[in-house]
Amino acid sequence: MGAIPVVDVFAGPGGLNEGFSGISDQNGRVFKTVASIEMDKEAVETLRLRAAFRKSIDQDGGIPAIYQDFVSRHVTHDQLISHPTFKAAWDHALAEVHQHELSEDTRDISDELVESALKDTLDNDEPWVLIGGPPCQAYSLVGRSRRKHDLAFKDDHKHTLYREYLHLIERFRPHVFVMENVKGLLSSQHGGGPVFKAIESDLTHPAADLTYVLRSCVVEGDADALSPSDFIVRAEKFGVPQARHRVILLGFRSDIDSSLFSPLTESPSVSVESVIGDMPKIRSGVSPRSRDNDADWTEALRLAGREAEVSLPRKISVPALSRGHIGTYTSQLDGDLGAWISAHPLTGISQHESRHHMDLDLARYAFLAFKLQQGKKLHVGDLPPKLRPKHSNLDSESVPFTDRFRVQAPKGPSTTVTSHISKDGHYFIHYDPLQMRSLTVREAARLQTFPDNYFFMGGRTKQYHQVGNAVPPFLARQIGEIVAKVLGRASQTPR
């Protein structure tokens, strides 16, 4: 039995795609991505690299040595994709992943890409799945609060990009679709009415002769028996080490038997520490780079120690300054999530490099981490005078994000990893004060449950942005298993 085709639109760096691709049975992969469509250049590069990696695994049963050389920074990207052991897989990836902006003006191209990818599947009405999350900034509660006085907000095209998703459903009639979006979608208003109810109606009846049964991932029953909040998936309840709450809609075409549907099964909470605590200890960089040395770093730590009334040893052991790839690391993760993150392991670990921060920011990070160790969760307004930012309105009740300096507590799930992590690390401070830094790309990727062999293309800011915009692959795998069961392909993926 062949793999079920998947078309991934608004694909980002491929979180949903990775989860579905990670499901297997006795015949191999249950799902096969035939097209990924994304407009962001760096995310497309990431998708192509991952598609080629996946093809290499399928062909050769293991990771090509040249891929290891690439993530270890021993060869360039051009050398990787032209290498004899990787070129065929790369050519496959170029045919699978498309840089394209879905919009009403580009529907002819979008339709051509999807039709070409599905080919015989459409002619024979064979099962296939549409997955994706239309860009959601306009729905975001944060975005709306910032833009509530913005007259242009009402006309923001991101409100209606889901219509391109709807168009693909109407035009190509997938047997199943999975649509992910932010929780703010449930309370968003547009044109005088609730956005969610309009979307729910559209997705249930996309055409006169086409209907879908909408399901929640977490509650039994079809849409008629569900409230909007029943579509919220709280990722921390399903083995993701992150409190990420998103709306996920499952649609099953009404002419297929979906009686085997059952919602996700909850699993024990996973802590930040259990996922990133075994990673190599590294220090942050000091900005400006002319001051990036152990002495200036140590002085910032001592300032934090004095302000937090913590006794530090006379001689402080300074962690190494990582340059991105650490070749001596071996993962110590266990359990189902550990097996997922550590599958097909590389030598060492990649993209584990701290940002550079000003010395006062470093001292703030360490101070707040010291205080968290003492059982005190402080906000920016609680910082001592020497460490308080010099904002004239810091004490105003109208100041947003009063906890914008936030330590990720080790003993529970993290806060939501969002694209904001690309702007600064203030909201994603490592809990270890003796590392005195924000989270690395790899740590954020682990909280998002990306495998360690998943490499993000682009500069570091773009890497953070991709990680923050993704659906956690480990959650996506569980959703994919629901879909596989309904389509008669019960997973044998290790759990």
Q: Residues 6-61: pLDDT tens digits?
A: 999 999 999 999 999 999 998 899 999 999 999 999 999 999 999 999 999 999 88
Average pLDDT over every residue of 119-133: 94
Q: Which residue ranges does the chain devote to CATH 3.90.120?
A: 272-469
Q: What pLDDT, on a 0 to 100 scale, did the predictor assign at position 328?
A: 86
Could you tell me what percent of the chain has a pLDDT over 70? Answer: 91
Is the pLDDT at 138 greater than 50, yes or no? no
Q: What pLDDT, on a 0 to 100 scale, did the predictor assign at position 395?
A: 52
Q: What pLDDT, on a 0 to 100 scale, did the predictor assign at position 396?
A: 47
Q: What pLDDT, on a 0 to 100 scale, did the predictor assign at position 492?
A: 62
Mean pLDDT score of the chain, rounded to an integer? 90
Average pLDDT over every residue of 131-151: 56
pLDDT confidence of 197, banded at 50, 70, 90?
confident
pLDDT confidence of 150, banded at 50, 70, 90?
very low
Q: Which of 133, 221, 219 is nearest to 177 (CA)?
A: 133
Q: Which fold has domain 272-469?
A: DNA Methylase; Chain A, domain 2 (3.90.120)
Find tokens 């924000």 and name the residue.
Answer: 438
Question: Taking the model in full, what pTM does it have?
Answer: 0.92
Q: What pLDDT, on a 0 to 100 scale, did the predictor assign at position 392?
A: 46
Is the pLDDT at 152 greater than 70, yes or no? no
CATH number assigned to the domain covering 4-268+471-486: 3.40.50.150
pLDDT confidence of 135, banded at 50, 70, 90?
confident
Q: What pLDDT, on a 0 to 100 scale, did the predictor assign at position 194?
A: 81
Q: Which residue ranges does the chain devote to CATH 3.40.50.150?
A: 4-268+471-486
Are 418 and 468 within 8 A, CB to CB?
yes
Average pLDDT over every residue of 433-462: 97
182-186, 192-196, 357-361, 472-476: the lowest-pLDDT one? 192-196
